[in-house]
Amino acid sequence: MALATARKEPIPAPLQDIVPPASGWEAGQQETAVFAGGCFWGVQSVFQRVKGVIKTTVGYTGGQEDTADYRSVSGGNTDHAEAIEIVYDPERVSYGMLLRVFFSVVHDPTQLNRQGADTGTQYRSAIFYTDERQQEVAGAYMRQLDAAHIFPRPIVTQIAPLETFYAGEDYHQDYAIKNPHNPYVQVCDIPKIASLGQQFPELFQEYSR
Catalytic positions are 39
Buried b / exposed e along 135-147 (16+ C-beta atoms within 10 A): bebbebbbebbee
Structural contact between residues 93 and 51, judged by C-beta atoms closer than 8 angstroms: yes
DSSP 49-96: TBTTEEEEEEEEES-SSS---HHHHHTT-S--EEEEEEEE-TTTS-HH
Region of 189 (left: φ > 0; alpha: ψ -120 to 50; beta: rest) is alpha
- Answer whether 133's CB lies under 8 Å from 23's CB: yes
Distance of CA 5 to the CA centre of its chain: 23
**Beta strand segments in the chain, E:** 31-37, 53-61, 81-88, 114-115, 118-119, 125-129, 158-161, 166-167
Cα–Cα distance, 70 to 80 (Å, whole number): 10
Best CA proximity match to 123, nearest among 33, 35, 192, 36: 36
